[in-house]
Amino acid sequence: MSDDLVFDAHRHLGVLPAHPFYGGPAINADTTARATVDQLLSDLDAEGTERALVLPNYGVPDPDVAFAHNELVLEAAQRDDRVRAGLWVSARPEDRARTAKALALAGETGVRALKLSFLLGGSPTAPECRPLLDEIFAVAERHGLVVHVHTSPGAASDIDQVGNLVDWYADRCAVHLVHFGGGMSGHIKLAGSRFFDWVAAGKRVYTDLSWAIGFAPHWLAREIEHRGIGHDRVLFASDQPWGDFPGEYARMRSAAGDGYFGELVFREAFAALYD
């Protein structure tokens, strides 16, 4: 599908059950979700994806669903060297036992990340979540793993909240901020200053632009060129099945080009972070 082999820093595996979102009928929104490792590998072949960080699919308000997919992504990573696994973890006290089980897999072959999202509850700044956050990042540091964190505007996933994780932990752990803030306000906060302030301060912060509003990839590329930092902190990501591989690829290729920065975005930044 792409003209050259690419590395995808963010996609999901597993199919979600139907759910009545927002008071409507029960639906399956993840229409291109893959239930098996064979289906995932077939997609990688069709796309020309040479490496992929694969994470549990999530989205319905049932943590057991996301945690249950950890074994599937681990199977994928241990079956095919193209795949790196990210394990679902949670900072909610209610998920302590499930998170402990996930963290026990952190040293398994193929595991390169821990996936953290507050869409299913909890908050980066909630006092009751801090002990598990400390534990998650301690395990990441011990095993050399990246903490892969969802961002989206408002509530607990807003960059005003999630940015605290960079401040607190990114001196010793790599933090991958998914979706570059996840919307207009997040893009402006990050590209306007915060992302570059963190890089200049020595924080190990990375990002991808899946879901990004159309102007954001070009603006970020221009700011990187102008400021002279951040070239190696941006990764291509499809976010399949919630993103669209051809669309995400075309948008980032347009912004990054096919020179030095494009090589970093589509291959080298991933290789440095996840290989």
| Cα gap 211→243, rounded to integer Å | 7
**Residue 4 has what pLDDT?**
75
**Residue 154 has what pLDDT?**
94
Closest C-alpha to 221, from 271, 180, 164: 180
**Residue 236 has what pLDDT?**
98
Buried/exposed code over 30-41 (b: 16+ C-beta within 10 A; e: otherwise): beebbeebeebb
**Residue 2 has what pLDDT?**
47
**Residue 39 has what pLDDT?**
98
Per-10-residue mean pLDDT, the chain, length 275: 80 98 96 98 97 98 97 98 98 98 98 98 98 98 98 97 98 98 97 98 98 96 98 98 97 96 98 97
Return the residue matching tokens 């752990």. 173
**Residue 3 has what pLDDT?**
55
**Residue 1 has what pLDDT?**
45
